[in-house]
Amino acid sequence: MKIFPAFCSLLLWAGAALAQPYPNHPVKVIVPWPPGQATDIAARLLADRLQSALGQPFVIENRPGAGGSIGSDIAARSPADGYTLLAASSGPISIMPSFQKLPYDPLKDFTLIGVITRNPYALVVHPSFPAANAREFVALLKANPGKYTFATSGTGATAHLFTEWFNSLAGVDARHVPYKGSAPALTDVMNGQVDYAMETVASVVGHIKSGRLKTYGVSSARRAGALPEVPTLAEAAGMPELDAAAWIGYAIPAASPREAVARIAAEMRKAMDSPEFRERLLNAGLDPATLTPEETASFLRREQERYAAIIKLANIKVEN
């Protein structure tokens, strides 16, 4: 009888396949934003690096909507087998829990594997906008309450929080126009349909350098690596309190195998030690930053507390 030996061979083959080190088949990376947004750009750069290092495809799947919470919920409910990752970022992980009840708990449902970039936002307008600098911009909006509009990548998203905080510190009253991602929001600013936006440097640097957008400053205390000639809003608008930057990294469902977390974290550390990879981030308008798995839990708690305090201070409300 040849059936039994063949069956044994099949079992041995299956056992060998299961014993292969992680990963042994393609890994899905859920990006809860449309293509072209900063999280999408960073996720793709890291996916390319991991694919080369680990020998398996890291497949990007864009699932935008609801300020990043739709894709994040899909990732949270995915099998915790190590083969679904989330391109995690400030909005759906650190900010939205302070706005509303979510179908997932960022601190319980995810393990943040690491952070690779922290990114300031740039205040941008159409090139024809009449204000010559940040102080003139603020003065114009203050003189015309309710007249001007601002676009964001979604209600409750990081861009929404940072813009509302800027508006509160500046003492201006403007109308919010939410979009499903930064790309359509910026398109309408460039078309003159919305007056201004605060979006990641990664999303706007190409438009600024091509002349399609004009910028008045960035949101962090230090100038952005991709726009060193652009002042901070703290200095340009006289807002020393304004110091905000969004983070981006990879997360995984919390019950996923430790082997998967350790393997990806190790390759992320190698990537961040690579001058070539850091240069790729900078060229994309992303400021490199390193956070290890051991630092992530306390980092997430601090971020949630920080943004909750900002939301309360600025009296920011999510529009229904």
Per-residue model confidence (pLDDT) at position 318? 64
Alpha-carbon dihedral 163, 168, 173, 175, rounded to 10 degrees: 30
Q: Please give the C-alpha separations between residue 237 and each of 10, 129, 136, 149, 306, in angstroms, as whole numbers.
A: 69, 17, 9, 19, 22
| CA 229 to the chain's CA centroid | 24
Helix (H, G, I), strand (E, B) or coil at 256: coil
CA atoms within 13 A on the CB side of 260: 22
- Position 98 scores a pLDDT of 85
Question: For each successive 10 residues of the chain (320 residues), what is the average pLDDT?
Answer: 50 50 96 91 97 97 91 97 96 87 94 92 97 98 97 84 91 93 93 96 92 97 91 95 91 96 95 95 88 82 86 69
Does residue 231 contact residue 120 with C-beta atoms inside 8 Å?
Answer: no
Domains annotated for the chain, with CATH where assigned, are 26-118+246-314 (3.40.190.150), 120-236 (3.40.190.10)
* Local structure of residue 291 (DSSP, 8 states): E
Give me the pLDDT at residue 16, please: 45
Note the Cα 184 to chain centre separation in Å.
Answer: 16
Token digits of residue 178 = 């939410």
Residue the block writes with tokens 């350098």: 209
Phi, psi angles (nearest 5°) of residue 287: -85, 115
Residue 305 corresponds to which tokens in the numbers above? 């507390």
- Positive or negative, the CA dihedral 129, 210, 189, 94 is negative
pLDDT at 19: 55
pLDDT reported for residue 5 = 52
The structure tokens listed for 30 are 């859920």
pLDDT, position 191: 97
Amino acid 258: pLDDT: 94
